[in-house]
Structure 1
Amino acid sequence: MDVFLGVDVGTQGVRAVAVSRAGALAGHGAVPLTGSRDGPRHEQDPAAWWTASVEACRLALRSVPAGSVRAVAVDGTSGTILLTDRHGRPLTPALMYDDTRATAYVERVNEVGRAVWDSLGYRRMHAAWALPKLLWLLDRHPSGRAAHPVDVVNRRLVGHAVPTDVNSALKTGAHTRDVRWPHEVLDALGVPASALPDLVRPGTVIGAVGAAGSAATGLPPGVPVVAGTTDGCAALLASGRVGAGSWNSALGTTLVLKGVTTDPVQDPSGIVYSHRGPDGGWLPGGASGAGGGVLARDFPGRDLAALDRRASLHEPARALAYPLTASGERFPFAAPSARGFVLGDFGPDDRYAALLQGVAYIERLCLDYLDLLGAPIDGALTFTGGATASPYWCSLRASILNRPVTLPTRPEPALGAAILAAWALSPTHRLADVAAEMVRISATIDPHAPGRFDATYLQLVDELASRGWLPTTLASHAHQRLA
């Protein structure tokens, strides 16, 4: 059968899946990645992305008949950037999506680019975005060329420089509506055109697997390489629900919400930004600093299934947790000074339960913020990401959100990349139809305790507001929606 390969270059690892047009899994592979954190710094070795991608592809293709792969697409983290030389060799480590060392460059980026950022709806950039980090890098390597995770892997697959998708380049300053670089802004900031890759929409064929890429990965030479997208956008495609008004919550190391709207969401605070839909429309959303990474940090090596069973006895937990994986928050509010906390010490089981609940409270606050901005949030809601491996956490999140959710059978961005690869070779088909064909729904989860967590949710809202991190307008809106 014909299969399509999707490769997800994530924070904790690279995953590859080979999937048929009917949604049958032909193969999969996963290889871990490591990084380095030190205060505001978060780095990865970009060479490791290719090494891990090679191994993940080979694992995914072990049982796939030779010659059956029709296309491949790669997704990667949003806001991660590095510099390479003109041959594509890394000159710097990759500054990851939550690295904030470039704070000193943000004011100038927003001053010079205000008109463009306003026109695109997000109004302003933040320290974790890629453009401030690019300026920081260019000050140290003036001849370097910008690259994103997808660029590093795609170049090795094809064997020469390739365009990047406009969604992966959004936080580097790409004009998502016109699919171009705003050189009037970038020139003024000192970013030469020669330092930037060409831009295309996601789903565009950008090359073919070359001889070296084939020998490394096991992909047949000549297979089309399709421009991918960000991991959040890919997770949305993997939900199978890409009609206007749908939302997907991808929970892994961090939390990413992504939805589908007919127009870009306008956010005066610059927190929500809208990626470009591959076949039209917009994909607004945001990435929080909260997420499942706190479990690996605070409960390393533990049996999480056993902890889940005990956590069910703590609803709601006596402790109150704000589960940031690192310092600083990006969504649903921007607060570089924010720090995670757990209030109350009632034992490890209660603490674990508080962390699970705290992530879901932030998830709910994200939806409240989207509602405050006027985005439609009452459509289909799906869960994807590594956290869907926990049935209890999925049920808990549905209860805290007070709404039913659906779970795709393979809730991972790599499947979304494979869907994009299949759609690129199906020019007469709508993306929504291709996604519906390739995604299988495993379950629908109804809230098991609607309303039980409302009071504790508002307690966390008030605590975040009292610390000066959460704007009072959002805190008031969260209260009003429960009135």
Structure 2
Amino acid sequence: MRSDQPAAGPLWAGVDVGTQSLRVLLVDADGAVAGRGAWALASDRAGGRHEQDPEDWWRALGAAFREALRGVDPARVEALAICGTSGTFLLAGPDGAARGPALMYDDARARREAEDVAAAGAELWEALGYATQPSWALPKLLWLARHSPQPLRAELAAGRVSLLHCGDYLATRLAGGPVATDWSTALKTGYDPRAGTWPTDVLDKLGLPAGVLPRVVRPGTRIGAVGPAGAAHTGLPVGVPVRAGMTDGCAAQIAAGALAAGSWNSVLGTTLVIKGVTADRLADPAGAVYSHRHPDGGWLPGGASNVGAGALQARFPGVDRDGMDRAAARYEPAGGLVYPLRGRGERFPFVRPGAEPFELGTFADDAERYAALLQGVAYVERLCYAHLRRLGADVTGALSLTGGATRSRYWCQLRADVLGREVTLPRTAEPAFGMAVLAAAGDAPLTPTARRMVRVDRVVPPRPGAPERFAEPFARFVDALAARGYVDEGLAGYAKELP
């Protein structure tokens, strides 16, 4: 059995830039964590606007690295990689300095621009199975081209500024010069992962110069090295290789070890995100599923639902979760049903902007309503896997659970019961860990590196008889979605027929 104590050899650094904090992990060759650091981040929100100050990212990076390196010889760090939220970017000048705030992954101002992007690239997006959304980077870039102060609009039109995704910006600051981006981070900026190119014809129609977009490389590729300014800021040695990262969702998938064909990872936090591995790219006419390229070949399909623990927090703020879990266990299944959307609109396993949360039936008390909400998330998760299987995905491989909701042992057990599947909980299921694994792999195959470094915390099998117990309420739940026009009858029937 491997020791939980880090060895004395080389370490790899992973950086995760989240919404609320930036985190750094230092990890050894066997997956033991030798150092941790974190620093809080603040956001500026108003209506559909969500921005952050890139300078705050840089300050947080320095502070988090110095915390992680406390008591660790910096010379042991072999390489680093950075992940950030998908669709987050800023515009920077030739010197790499930000020309304004970063537009975050969920900034929703570009609604009109999303329609224009959808029309300009309709043929390409249909071929790729994309449903362009206002939060994607390409519509937001078009919004900046139309609504920024005139001097910045002029610079953008002339190609004198560059689009830098979150990780690109920090890598540029660390290296002291321009860097490439990776093909997963570039996806929502319009990158064609099949052809391996930016869609210049679509950009021309939109009046956007292709020169503002970065060069794109395979994740793990060396894109630079820590320069003198980066070393002084972080405590890292000059010359540490900086490797191309991935999106935070892909980073979490790496941390879960879900990289072999047929394996899947369900990330349940504020929302539910499911990602897996297929040999061929899945085509989803509805646009609920999109696919990143796998660094080792093949594809990483997945989707993001708007159900999740966010609905739990909204409806039961400040409750004793452990106590409510124990009380909820008396209601298996609950007498009523809850479709636990956080708000209006759903993205996966179906795309319905007008979808609304709902409750059906009556509840004896708050504990039963709480139980129905936990079960509702699990029902959506099961429906997601039915949709993926209907599209042709192999979903029979290993299934891991990650995200904040895994702190609830009861909810993990419930999800295994509803899915009728054994589930695995990784030991260090953090995106920063996934980036450390990617940094360790570098140009070599990622999958065997992850197999060596990712550790299992526990395995949760379904309880005897539990899948059968939840089959009838799941069928009623799917019927309720179909009755509202959220899912088609074909998917509803298919999902109910699955074991």
Same-fold status (TM-score > 0.5): yes
Assess if the C-alpha contact under 8 Å between 1:6 and 1:72 holds in 2.
yes
Equivalent position to 1:129, from 114, 122, 136? 136
- The one-letter code of the counterpart of 1:412 is E
Is residue 441 from structure 1 mapped to residue 453 from structure 2 by the alignment?
no
CA distance in 1, matches of 2:467, 2:13: 39
Match runs of 1:172-187 below 5 Å: 172-187=189-204
Equivalent position to 2:81, from 54, 73, 78? 73
Equivalent position to 1:359, from 377, 397, 413? 377
The change in CA–CA distance for 1:229 and 1:190 in structure 2 (over 3 A counts) is: same
Match runs of 1:50-69 below 5 Å: 50-69=58-77
**Larger Rg belongs to:** 2
Equivalent position to 2:300, from 269, 283, 286? 283
SS in structure 2 of the partner of residue 177 of structure 1: coil
The residue that corresponds to 1:418 in the other structure is 436
The residue that corresponds to 2:106 in the other structure is 98
The change in CA–CA distance for 1:63 and 1:468 in structure 2 (over 3 A counts) is: farther
- The one-letter code of the counterpart of 2:452 is E
TM-score of the superposition, structure 2-length normalised?
A: 0.89
The residue that corresponds to 2:251 in the other structure is 234
1:88-137 Cα offsets, whole Å, 9 max, x none, are 34444443333333222233322321333244x32442333222222112
Show structure 1 runs of 4+ deviating over 6 A.
none
The residue that corresponds to 2:402 in the other structure is 384
The change in CA–CA distance for 1:254 and 1:136 in structure 2 (over 3 A counts) is: same
- The one-letter code of the counterpart of 2:123 is A
The residue that corresponds to 1:406 in the other structure is 424
Q: Cα offset for 1:37?
A: 5.1
The residue that corresponds to 1:224 in the other structure is 241
Q: Cα offset for 1:302?
A: 3.8
CA distance in 2, matches of 1:32, 1:471: 43
The residue that corresponds to 1:194 in the other structure is 211
Q: Cα offset for 1:475?
A: 2.1
The residue that corresponds to 1:460 in the other structure is 477
The residue that corresponds to 2:10 in the other structure is 2
The change in CA–CA distance for 1:451 and 1:28 in structure 2 (over 3 A counts) is: farther
The residue that corresponds to 2:125 in the other structure is 117
- The one-letter code of the counterpart of 2:129 is Y
Assess if the C-alpha contact under 8 Å between 2:295 and 2:445 holds in 1.
no
Assess if the C-alpha contact under 8 Å between 1:40 and 1:327 holds in 2.
no
Q: Cα offset for 1:215?
A: 2.3
Structure 1 residues without counterparts, runs of 5 or longer: none
Is residue 261 from structure 1 mapped to residue 278 from structure 2 by the alignment?
yes
Assess if the C-alpha contact under 8 Å between 1:179 and 1:201 holds in 2.
no
TM-score of the superposition, structure 1-length normalised?
A: 0.92
Q: Cα offset for 1:262?
A: 1.3
Assess if the C-alpha contact under 8 Å between 1:81 and 1:133 holds in 2.
no
The residue that corresponds to 2:115 in the other structure is 107
CA distance in 2, matches of 1:14, 1:277: 25
Equivalent position to 2:186, from 137, 149, 169? 169
Match runs of 1:320-335 below 5 Å: 320-335=337-352
Q: Cα offset for 1:41?
A: 4.2
The change in CA–CA distance for 1:333 and 1:214 in structure 2 (over 3 A counts) is: same
CA distance in 2, matches of 1:300, 1:92: 35
The change in CA–CA distance for 1:464 and 1:89 in structure 2 (over 3 A counts) is: farther
CA distance in 1, matches of 2:228, 2:168: 18
- CA RMSD between the two structures: 2.3
- The one-letter code of the counterpart of 1:378 is T
Q: Cα offset for 1:146?
A: 2.4
The residue that corresponds to 2:327 in the other structure is 310
- The one-letter code of the counterpart of 1:356 is L
SS in structure 2 of the partner of residue 15 of structure 1: strand
The change in CA–CA distance for 1:391 and 1:54 in structure 2 (over 3 A counts) is: farther
CA distance in 2, matches of 1:97, 1:346: 39
CA distance in 1, matches of 2:445, 2:457: 23
The change in CA–CA distance for 1:248 and 1:68 in structure 2 (over 3 A counts) is: same
Q: Cα offset for 1:349?
A: 2.7
Structure 2 residues without counterparts, runs of 5 or longer: 1-8, 157-161
Is residue 430 from structure 1 mapped to residue 438 from structure 2 by the alignment?
no
Alignment length (residue pairs): 478
1:271-311 Cα offsets, whole Å, 9 max, x none, are 21110111221111111122222334344444333332222
Assess if the C-alpha contact under 8 Å between 2:437 and 2:449 holds in 1.
yes
CA distance in 1, matches of 2:436, 2:290: 24
SS in structure 1 of the partner of residue 140 of structure 2: helix
Q: Which moved more, 1:83-92 or 1:170-179?
A: 83-92
